A and B are shown apart, each in its own frame.
Chain A
């Protein structure tokens, strides 16, 4: 079920809200169980075939985590370590089988010059997200950082529907305590108003901005990549740059708003990343929970920056390569991760040389250089192969179109309406670079003052306006053909 569809908004959401708040009057535990059931239904509606996989993964990790914590509390380190290793093996095994097996076998076949018939295993939706969430949980059990072991809360923490499909990657310490807070289960009209504002802003970003600019992407990346003018190549690359930005930003806002209606605050996952003045800052703003995960559960365990500059740069590169691979089983993602690893090394090295002081030149050049580097990276991220990505990048800097291309009746608009695309890019760029984001406009974390203020007539007016806008945006989305969020593929 997609957030940007009528069945979700008109049936699933109201009935889940209703059940959650009504049951909370009798028992918080019952209310949580209901939300867990609704979340499982949400996943099952999408892909019932993989429901046993999700439930099995949750059950196995919960049991391993419980056992691991008990061993740890009893001071038995070796069995605890063994349980952790088994847990990691189980999770990475599942992910490896469903996501990477064809990639690995295909790459081996290419290296050895043999044939490989793809197994064509369908990727279970959300597997990367729920696997990483649970790996973090097991590692924290081993580090004795887990304090709560209620089975239904654990199930809800993993499967909670606003984050299940495309993140944010949740951390148990941020989520589990919220499930047992009585005030989170109390219906508050102001809370619905705040949630609806986030949801509507996100839906607008998805339906109008991301899906609107999407039509300028495929003609370049899928159709004409072999012969492109510079203008076409840049238009396609920038169109994708903004499509991905608004698509992910939209999902993050909508997930945040939906969760807010249930009284549960999700971590902020997306914070105007194209305003970043360095790649280091970019990664503190883009997919923040993945960056945190990679830092806490990969980069730091690898040694982080504790073993000298050389090792630090190696760790950075390895972390970003694996981060790239997390997005998909394709060499394009490895290339993208490697590119960002390289960017981070350059950025850290420059900081090391220049110190933390920010010169005027660095301030001035930081933003365009960062943005340019990110755009080039996204070409690898979107292209169907590394060869296609290189063709497009070559076209961006030198142009690859033949002599007659562009001299037909449509001129420079021969592949797509470039003049129209330019207007879209200008508008989207202005929003991404200069406009405040949803959190700047509405607020971050729990907002008791706004909840109180919007609990009366003003909040009603806001909800009424949001309902009409949401229905219109959903009508646009549905009649045009509902498009998935791009991050659903990862």
Chain B
């Protein structure tokens, strides 16, 4: 055999070997999403599908699971009314944790069941509003917990990516706009090969290519004067819409705010860049309080836990999502707040 044909043969044999090896390993299976529609305008997966997820090149945190009947991970099928609904993004979706270790899983145990979650990766406040507007009339939960993290505020005015919602402000009037999702046939093709799934889902090569093709990292919102005005308009609109939908059921609304874990974990200078924009955070807290919503701020809770146990609350530096410690602390805080509310309700004449 000659040298050049040998190269082709060597390449094919190696790819076949890699495909066989990866088929035996916990490569991310990819979770198929359902096309979004005007009737259900938010990101959700195809219901009742089994999946395997693992993180990064080393297939870390491998976990199997099943999507619930509404197209959400780490949630029981939706049954009954009058329970608790946790709405959020990838932090609540928690592919990297078992159900029992998530906020909703722990609350489910603490409250004796009837806790559900509606969360998808990349969700922002506009998505949480759409989810609330869809599910509150159907589930009529007694409590709704909205998870809020820094990007929800810094990216408040960003155009929505496929499958998600965003806010637009036209002549001072905010509105929610949806960017429809259609599953690409290419994704179905990718799911047939372990090597392709590894490249696409574990290495996230498509994301890397689009980052490499763009001129550089997206400029962070600097919270300029125009931005402040627009964000305040949007947040006022958001809270008033939540108020409207929650009051018809009626549901008690809690906002669960993430802390700046990177700063907490850094024991000495150089301090990392703050996760939250202080001005945005203050604005959110002020408007939430103005609309009569309760906010659970996880920052002091995380600080206390770190000081005592020196125990990390995420998967950093690989992954900034909450680990089971942060979920447990959050569930305990929510539970305490619910108990206090219940006690106050019983004590009132």
Q: Please give the residue numbers on chain A whose beta carbons come within 8 Å of chain B beta carbons, in ascending order.
A: 189, 212, 215, 218-219, 223-227, 401-402, 404-410, 414-416, 455-469, 472, 475-476, 478-480
Q: List, in ascending order, chain A residues with CB within 8 A of B328's CB.
A: 409
A468's nearest neighbour on chain B, judged by CB, is: B14
Given contacts A415-B310, A464-B14, contact A408 B305 (CB under 8 A): yes
A216 CB → nearest B CB, Å = 11
**A421 shortest CB reach to chain B, Å:** 13
Cβ contact within 8 Å between B1 and A480:
no
Q: Is the CB of A405 within 8 A of B3?
A: no
29 contacts between A and B (CB under 8 A): A218-B317, A227-B310, A405-B310, A405-B311, A407-B309, A408-B305, A408-B325, A409-B324, A409-B325, A414-B309, A456-B6, A459-B3, A459-B6, A460-B2, A460-B5, A460-B8, A461-B10, A463-B6, A464-B14, A465-B13, A465-B14, A467-B7, A468-B15, A469-B14, A472-B18, A475-B199, A476-B57, A476-B203, A480-B203
Q: Is B336 an interface residue (CB 8 A)?
A: no
Known: A457-B9, A465-B11, A467-B11. 16 other contacts (CB 8 A): A405-B310, A406-B309, A408-B311, A415-B311, A459-B6, A460-B3, A460-B6, A461-B6, A461-B9, A463-B3, A465-B13, A465-B14, A467-B7, A469-B14, A479-B204, A480-B56
- The yes or no answer to B208 lying at the interface (CB within 8 A) is yes
Tell me how far the C-beta of A407 lies from the nearest C-beta in chain B, rounded to whole angstroms.
7
CB distance from A151 to the nearest CB of B (A): 37
Given contacts A223-B265, A227-B310, A404-B309, contact A464 B18 (CB under 8 A): no
Among B10, B267, B308, point to the contact of A463 (Cβ < 8 A). Answer: B10
A215 touches B318 (CB 8 A): yes
CA–CA, A475 and B267, complex, Å: 33
List chain B residues, Cβ under 8 A from A226: 267
Instruction: Specify which chain B residues have a CB less than 8 angstroms from the CB of A460 in the assembled complex.
Output: 1-10
Given contacts A410-B325, A462-B10, contact A457 B309 (CB under 8 A): no
The chain B residues found within 8 Å of chain A, CB to CB, are 1-15, 18, 56-58, 199, 203-205, 207-208, 265-267, 305, 308-312, 317-318, 323-325, 328
What residues of chain B lie closer than 8 Å to A465, measured between beta carbons? 10-11, 13-14
Q: Are B308 and A404 in contact (CB under 8 A)?
A: yes
Q: Which residues in A have their C-beta under 8 angstroms from that of B56? A: 480
Q: With A408-B325, A410-B325, A472-B18 in contact, do A456 and B2 touch (Cβ < 8 Å)?
A: yes
Determine if B11 and A464 form an interchain contact, defined as CB atoms under 8 angstroms apart.
yes
Chain B residue nearest to A407 in the complex (CB): B309
Closest B residue, CB atoms, query A461: B10
Sort A-B residue pairs by CB-CB distance and give the 3 closest, nearest first.
A460-B6, A464-B10, A457-B1
Least distance between A194 CB and chain B CB atoms (Å): 13
| Chain B residue contacts of A462, Cβ below 8 A | 10
* Contact assessment for A456 and B3 in the assembled complex, using a CB-CB cutoff below 8 Å: yes
| B203 contact from A406, A416, A461, A475, Cβ within 8 A | A475
Q: Which residues of B contact A466 (CB under 8 A)?
A: 10
A464 contacts which chain B residues (CB < 8 A)?
Answer: 6-14
A405 to B57, CA, bound (A): 31
State the Cβ distance, B61 to closest chain A Cβ, in Å: 10
With A410-B312, A457-B5, A480-B56 as contacts: A475 and B205 at CB distance below 8 Å: yes
